[in-house]
Amino acid sequence: MAGDSLDKLMYSFVMEDVLKGFFIYVPPGYVACVYDMGHGVLKKVLTPGLHLKIPFWQKAKLFNTQTLEYSISRQFNPENERAMGDIPIAAVAQDGKRVGVEGTILLRLDVQQIPSLWQTIGEDFVAKIVRPTIRSRVRMVFSRFDFPDIIGSKRDIVETELKNELEKIFYTRGIYVENVLLSEISMISQTTVK
């Protein structure tokens, strides 16, 4: 009897592993890219639904194609490098005033370019591309404006310029910038700038 139950248990583990190995379930709002051991990352993207794959020979990776919120705020935990976000960005305005920038940048991955993104940059594209680019472009754009203009009459122009600068870099990599929304811009003391 003990042998029968052990056999049934082993059979159920094997069947579950094998059957799971044949299928890729892609939920709504996601796509899957497939890595094939013989061909590398396949160019075809799997859309929502159930798809077949070759077990042990192909591996699938899900990518979120919904609007992604890149939040720049004090609540962000910088220890998680892959997280979508950042701590407030320190910048220097044209008039020499040091500012801390908080806000939200709305991004979306281009479905057709996700295989290339995965192949050339990898899964940690936020730490490698997104975060350094946003930090650099925020500092560059803020250096073009005086502090009173940034918090006053030219705030919408600053957001538009920042969106344009980010698009120049992200678009070729398959990342769309949907919007830049600055929430808080405050002066900071020189001793807090890193």
N- to C-terminal Cα separation, the chain: 68
Please report, for the domain that includes residue 162, its CATH number: 3.30.479.30
Token pair of 163 as six digits: 């969106």
**Sequence letter at residue 6:** L
- Residue 178 belongs to what domain range? 68-192
- The tens digit of pLDDT for each residue in 125-183 reads 888 999 999 999 999 999 999 999 998 889 999 999 999 999 999 999 999 999 999 99
pLDDT value for 79: 82
- The tens digit of pLDDT for each residue in 97-135 reads 999 999 999 999 999 999 999 898 888 888 899 999 999
pLDDT value for 4: 60
Packing angle of the helix pair 155-170, 131-142 (nearest 10 deg): 140
User: Is 96 in the same domain as 143?
Assistant: yes
Residue 100's SS3 state is: strand
pLDDT value for 15: 46
User: Is 147 in the same domain as 93?
Assistant: yes
pLDDT value for 192: 45
pLDDT value for 194: 45
- The tens digit of pLDDT for each residue in 23-58 reads 889 999 999 999 999 999 999 999 999 998 888 899
User: Is 35 in the same domain as 109?
Assistant: no
Task: Look at the alpha carbons of 182, 140, 149, 100 in this order and tell me if their dihedral is positive or negative.
Answer: positive
From 64, 79, 99, the end of a domain falls on 64
Residue 134's SS3 state is: helix
User: Is 30 in the same domain as 72?
Assistant: no
User: What is the distance between the alpha carbons of residues 127 and 86, in angstroms, rounded to a whole number?
Assistant: 10
